[in-house]
Amino acid sequence: MDKETEYTIAYRDVKHPRLEFKTGTLLLILPKTHKNPKQTLEKYKKWIQRKQQTINKALQEAKTKTINQTRTEKQLKALVNTLAQNYQKELDAHINKVYFRKMKTKWASHSRNNNLTVNTLLKYLPNDVIEYIIYHEITHSLERKHNERFWRLINKKFPDYETKEKDLLTYWFIIQKTMNNPAQPSEVLNTNLNKLNEDTS
Ligand SMILES: [Zn+2]
């Protein structure tokens, strides 16, 4: 483990070790029976360092960006609904319903019964980022996993999707800070360690 990497360990009722990144600090969540946290951290060292770098970059970027404070929730809903309509046609995909609510750890999600839930905090984002999020979620109705096929579909519309993913993290940090929230874990960064090998996102 890197000497500069600060981390906290918490023992909880979980089946598998899990890592959470709050803004800048690492929380290793372990099953209560777990004996060797050092070994776990060592095993995922490279991955942790990569994530740490991603976070540091996003925190740097956050200083250069500002959020949109003028869009209302009503305007956001109208925009998202229009985008969802257009992208369903474009992707030949089908979504049952779009829900809006304030969420603590993610921008949006696609459920197994084909509904989208959109975080109302999206109103603070620039249009291009909102477009990316909606397109990303609707693509999940065609491919659930973040696998090669998924990113190929995304790449057709957003060849700069890697930049967009970074922007999402940057804006996440800006919004958490602006709202004066205690650092919330970002879903983008949290990983169930036993899934690491199959899902490298
Ligand atoms: Zn996704």
* Residue 201 within a domain: no
Q: Based on the fold, state whether residues 104 and 150 are members of the same structural domain.
A: yes
Q: Strand, coil or helix: what is 106?
A: coil
For ligand 1, the distance from its centroid to the CA atom of residue 183, given in whole angstroms, is 22
For ligand 1, the distance from its centroid to the CA atom of residue 21, given in whole angstroms, is 18
* Residue 88 within a domain: yes
Q: Based on the fold, state whether residues 43 and 114 are members of the same structural domain.
A: no
Q: Strand, coil or helix: what is 109?
A: strand
Q: Based on the fold, state whether residues 86 and 121 are members of the same structural domain.
A: yes
Q: Based on the fold, state whether residues 115 and 31 are members of the same structural domain.
A: no
Number of separate domains in the chain: 2
Collect all residues with Cβ–Cβ distance below 8 Å to 129 and sequence separation of at least 6: 164, 167, 168, 171
* Residue 19 within a domain: yes
* Residue 200 within a domain: no
**What is the pTM (predicted TM-score) of this model?**
0.80
pLDDT for the residue numbered 184: 59
For ligand 1, the distance from its centroid to the CA atom of residue 11, given in whole angstroms, is 28
Q: Based on the fold, state whether residues 189 and 174 are members of the same structural domain.
A: no
pLDDT-above-70 percentage for the chain: 85
In Å, what is the CA distance from 116 to each residue of 12, 66, 97, 173, 180? 30, 27, 6, 23, 27
For ligand 1, the distance from its centroid to the CA atom of residue 136, given in whole angstroms, is 6
Q: How far apart are CA 189 and CA 17, in angstroms?
A: 14
Q: Based on the fold, state whether residues 59 and 38 are members of the same structural domain.
A: yes
For ligand 1, the distance from its centroid to the CA atom of residue 131, given in whole angstroms, is 14
Find the CATH number of the domain harbouring 135: 3.30.2010.10
* Residue 156 within a domain: yes
Q: Based on the fold, state whether residues 173 and 86 are members of the same structural domain.
A: yes
**Confidence band for 191, pLDDT divided at 50, 70 and 90:** low
pLDDT for the residue numbered 45: 85
Q: Is 169 exposed, middle or buried (0-12, 13-18, 19+ CB in 10 A)?
A: buried
For ligand 1, the distance from its centroid to the CA atom of residue 36, given in whole angstroms, is 32
Q: How far apart are CA 178 and CA 63, in angstroms?
A: 12
Residue 28 has pLDDT above 60, yes or no: yes
For ligand 1, the distance from its centroid to the CA atom of residue 156, given in whole angstroms, is 16
Q: Based on the fold, state whether residues 174 and 189 are members of the same structural domain.
A: no
For ligand 1, the distance from its centroid to the CA atom of residue 188, given in whole angstroms, is 9
pLDDT in tens, 52-81: 888 888 889 988 999 999 999 999 999 999
Q: Say if CB 164 and CB 134 are below 8 A apart.
A: no
Side by side, which strands form the sheet with 7-12?
Answer: 7-12, 26-31, 18-21, 191-192
pLDDT in tens, 112-154: 999 999 999 999 999 999 999 999 999 999 999 999 999 999 9
Host domain of residue 27: 7-65+185-195
Q: Based on the fold, state whether residues 131 and 164 are members of the same structural domain.
A: yes
Q: What is the CA radius of gyration of the chain?
A: 18
* Residue 40 within a domain: yes
Q: Based on the fold, state whether residues 82 and 24 are members of the same structural domain.
A: no
